[in-house]
Each structure stands twice: as C-alpha cells, then as structure tokens.
Amino acid sequence: MAQEEKELLLKDVCSRLPYGVMCQVDDGAALRPMSSMTDEERQEYGLVLCDELSTNQYDWLNAHHFDYKGLIGMATITEDYCSFEVAKLLEEKGFDIPVWTRYEENNDEVIFGDKYNWNNSPMGQISAPTHQMARKWLRKAHNINIDIVPIWNQNRFEYQVFIVTPENAKYCYIDDKLYLVYEKAVEAALKYSLENLI
C-alpha cells in the first residue's frame, strides 16, 4: 500500500470513529500497533500512567501515534475461514452445508466459487467454511458450544477456550493455554471438538 493510500485510510478511519484519535499525516506518521512500543517508550508511558492526576495518557498515545483503540485491525477486518486441517476434520465428521469457498486437494489457499457442498467432490475439493459457520454447525448438529473468553493479562487480552456440551453441562476448558490471537483460540477449539467430542 502506497504512503498516500495509507494516509487516506488513516484519515478515513479517524474521521468515522468517535474516539478522539488525532490524525496527523502531514509528517508522514501513521498509527502504530501498541506491540511496537520500544522499551524507552514503555518507560516514558509508565511515568505518564503513574501520575495519578494526569489525564494525559491518551494525549501521549496520540502524540506517539499508537493505536490504543485497535483501529488498524478494524481497517483490515476480514472473514476468518477454517484452516485446511480443520476443514478436513469437518468433512470427515459430516459437515455438508453449501459454502462459497473451498480448498483444492492438499492446498491451504481458500478459493472462492459457487455456493456448493464441496465435501466429497470427485475433484478432491473440500468446503472451507468460516469459523462462525463451523461453530454454528457444531452447536446445531452436535450440541457443542464453543465460547472464547477474553482475559486481561499483562496489559493485553489473551483468550481462553471453553466448550460446553450436554454431558458436562458446565464450562470446561480444553487446556490451560491462553491464546494471544482470538482466531487461533477458535481454531484450537474447533480442532479439539472435532477430534475429541464427535
């Protein structure tokens, strides 16, 4: 993406969302993810936070172009599809809902096409449903409910996987692992459910 396009996108995102984010593109600065904060910036930001009378934390973050509201991610929101591995497990377990996307045999690139049940096709293609569609199918067809719970841990969200079935009738998690990425937690829950609960 060219610098001019980045600046236009930044202006557009900042103007649409009422978060008080100041957009300054004249110096070529763009929003930076919070994870890119250097050790020196972390120390400086810590001093701003320690001042109990200070309401400057957002001013400081804006001045340093940090994306504390997650705007960068909102500008690039896409559908999340099941991985090839999970799609194969869904096929084995009887997923038969027509979808617009598929995988070719032994290829993990999602291909868009006609709405069709690609599973068990003679060409070796398999359906590539979205995470949401796979979760809904598990809930409707097998009474398996997947819940991804955010946990605030060390100044960032991490995600815990919980799975509820009529047999356990309460929340149970699949492991003690916390996932840094929501979609990775969904993938782990889908994989666990398909391998162990059906």
Q: What is the pLDDT of residues 114-169, one digit of tens each?
A: 888 888 777 888 999 999 999 999 989 988 888 887 877 776 677 777 777 677 65
**Least reliable range by pLDDT among 63-72, 74-83, 126-135, 189-198:** 63-72
192 and 95 within one domain: yes
116 and 67 within one domain: no
11 and 100 within one domain: no
C-alpha to C-alpha distance for 43 and 58, rounded to whole angstroms: 16
- Among 75, 95, 117, identify where a domain stops: 75
104 and 45 within one domain: no
- For 180, the domain range is 84-196
- Among 75, 98, 114, identify where a domain stops: 75
46 and 90 within one domain: no
Residue 67 and residue 30 in contact, taking contact as beta carbons nearer than 8 Å? no
C-alpha to C-alpha distance for 166 and 128, rounded to whole angstroms: 27
116 and 65 within one domain: no
Burial of 30 (0-12, 13-18, 19+ CB in 10 A): middle
pLDDT at 78 over 50: yes
25 and 48 within one domain: yes
**Which residues are within 8 A (CB) of 180 and not within 5 positions of it... i.e. 6 or more apart?**
156, 158, 159
What pLDDT is stored for residue 24 in this prediction? 44
95 and 172 within one domain: yes
Residue 185 and residue 162 in contact, taking contact as beta carbons nearer than 8 Å? no
C-alpha to C-alpha distance for 191 and 155, rounded to whole angstroms: 28
> How many domains does the chain fold into?
2
9 and 92 within one domain: no
- Among 17, 44, 75, identify where a domain stops: 75
* Dihedral in degrees, nearest 10, Cα atoms 65, 38, 56, 63: -20
What pLDDT is stored for residue 26 in this prediction? 44
101 and 28 within one domain: no
User: What does the pLDDT average to over 5-22?
Assistant: 55
163 and 105 within one domain: yes
59 and 27 within one domain: yes
